[in-house]
Amino acid sequence: MRIEVSKECISKGIFVKHTEVIGVNNGKGTLETELREVEEKFRKTDPASLKDVPTVRVYRDFYWSLGIDPTKTRPSGEALRRRIARSGKLPRINDIVDAGNVVSASTLISIGIYDLKKISGEPRITLSSGGEKFDGIGNKSEVLPPGIPIMVDGVGNVMHIFPHRDSIITSVSDSTRDVLIVGAGVRGIAEREVEEAVKETARLLSNLGGKVVHDVC
């Protein structure tokens, strides 16, 4: 699979790294050791200090450039770190989602994981024209204004608002076995960091019986 990034999005500093993993034995609780290790490592984090971490700072600056207040809508890695600091725990959803959360909390890189069987055609990242429907996970449907970076599939379904919100349409469920992993990069974050985060997510899923389809690209 190839993900196209439009010239308009490239000009905003947007890039992605991705791969696909198929045949994952998606259960629950298999990654408990990894989850606990991350929780233990970051349990004593001072939430106020996160704003000074370079990766968080870069994502926050990108959010501000889109008109999004990152103190209200947190970058995903920061949100997970804050959750650990607040409650000492990461959520337990299923093994595939948990793998993404382990890596995102560890690296602060935004990781999206999508059910391959729910994706039509090849995704692309573009700016919204205005009027697109977005069915966010855990949120009501909304109509998007123009100029928002989004990832859409080949028939125009909005899979993701870059780089922080995923759609229920292509979300991972307990029955998901084949996935697309996407690392969200923005100007100021090294491509190598995003690539390594995607590789680590794929590695965790390969430990669950998954086959990595191709190198991260």
Indicate whether 55 belongs to any domain. Answer: yes
Tens of pLDDT, residue by residue over 188-216, are: 999 999 999 999 999 999 999 999 999 99
Closest CA to 68 of 145, 123, 138: 145
Give phi and psi for 101, each to the nearest 5: -70, -40
Residue 138, pLDDT > 90, answer no
Indicate whether 8 belongs to any domain. Answer: yes
Per-residue model confidence (pLDDT) at position 140: 83
Tens of pLDDT, residue by residue over 31-76, are: 999 999 999 999 999 999 999 999 999 999 999 999 999 999 999 9
Q: What is the CATH number of the domain that holds 21?
A: 3.50.40.10
pLDDT band at 29 (very low <50, low <70, confident <90, very high): very high
- Total domains, the chain: 1
Please state, in angstroms and rounded to a whole number, the distance separating the CA atoms of residues 145 and 131.
Answer: 6
Indicate whether 217 belongs to any domain. Answer: no
Residue appearing with tokens 């870069």: 58
Do residues 78 and 56 make contact, with C-beta atoms less than 8 angstroms apart? Answer: yes
Residue 41, domain extent = 4-212
Give phi and psi for 52, each to the nearest 5: -95, -5
Please state, in angstroms and rounded to a whole number, the distance separating the CA atoms of residues 102 and 57.
Answer: 20
Do residues 108 and 196 make contact, with C-beta atoms less than 8 angstroms apart? Answer: no
Do residues 136 and 170 make contact, with C-beta atoms less than 8 angstroms apart? Answer: no
Q: What is the pTM of this model?
A: 0.96
CB atoms near residue 34 (< 10 Å):
18
